[in-house]
Amino acid sequence: MELKMPRLRRIFILSFIIELAGFAIISSLPIHNPALYSSFKSQDHAIVSQSFFPMWLSIFPHNLLIATIEFIPVIGILMFGFSIISTATVIAVEGTATNINGFAIFASLMMFPHSWLELPAYAVAVSTSVYILYYLLTKKLKTNYMKIIYMYIFVVIELAFAGAIETSEIILERSPHPLYSLYMWIPAVPIIIFLIWLYRRMDSDEYKSGKKKPEEPDLYDFNQF
């Protein structure tokens, strides 16, 4: 009996829900770690004190490295979990150090558009790693590799946008009116709409009506774009 794989977008949605739940739960914990908090503040200051382009270069490649590792079968799932736990722990530690509930800090971060670009990118990466594992087990990688390449390109684009939006938010927070950073939703909304369209295009085989014939190979052609 052939192993049947759930649709990629369903794995993505499940991964994103797990990601949000993990952040919400772990960030709420009363974790006390002064050394970790001091290290975080030091690294954070070194990044946010830069101008736009150097700051973007500090944020984007780091996030892309994490996402790239998450594309690797099995290792990617472990990296996904480690990333959630480590980042949420830092939020929890910051909450304890500042006498603010860590969940409130997490919720405030979700008010900014970069979170709705960066976190889904990681979910796309890890969901694709599950697909790669499936293709390896069923020996279908040769006929499906283009979809994996498309998804990686998608994550690169999404994280590049996320880094630019986050950098802009940080710079706007330096102004006399820190809430100006919320204005970044203005460019972020069309970017998110574009990315949803792009994801559907790159995952177009799963959105086509009707069932595909069992013998039909899952081929991808750049001309479809």
The answer to whether position 3 is within a domain reads no
The answer to whether position 221 is within a domain reads no
The answer to whether position 223 is within a domain reads no
Q: CA triplet 64, 114, 8: central angle to 5 degrees? A: 60
The answer to whether position 55 is within a domain reads yes
Contact 207, 13 (CB under 8 A): no
The answer to whether position 217 is within a domain reads no
Contact 98, 38 (CB under 8 A): no
The answer to whether position 62 is within a domain reads yes
Token readout for 223 is: 């001309």
**How far does the chain reach from its first CA to its final CA, in angstroms?**
35
The answer to whether position 216 is within a domain reads no
Contact 126, 120 (CB under 8 A): no
Could you tell me the residue range of the domain that residue 59 belongs to?
Answer: 8-206
Element (H, E) at 67: helix 52-70
Q: What is the pLDDT of residues 100-136, one digit of tens each?
A: 999 999 999 999 999 999 999 999 999 999 999 998 9
Token readout for 133 is: 């594992």
Q: What is the pLDDT of residues 5-32, one digit of tens each?
A: 678 899 999 999 999 999 999 999 999 9
- Domain count of the fold of the chain: 1
- Measured in whole angstroms, how far is the alpha carbon of residue 149 from the centre of its chain? 17
The answer to whether position 213 is within a domain reads no
Predicted TM-score (pTM) of the model is 0.89
Nearest Cα to Cα of residue 113 among 56, 177, 170: 170
Distance CA 65, CA 5 (A): 27
Q: What is the pLDDT of residues 139-164, one digit of tens each?
A: 888 888 898 999 999 999 999 999 99
Distance CA 111, CA 117 (A): 12
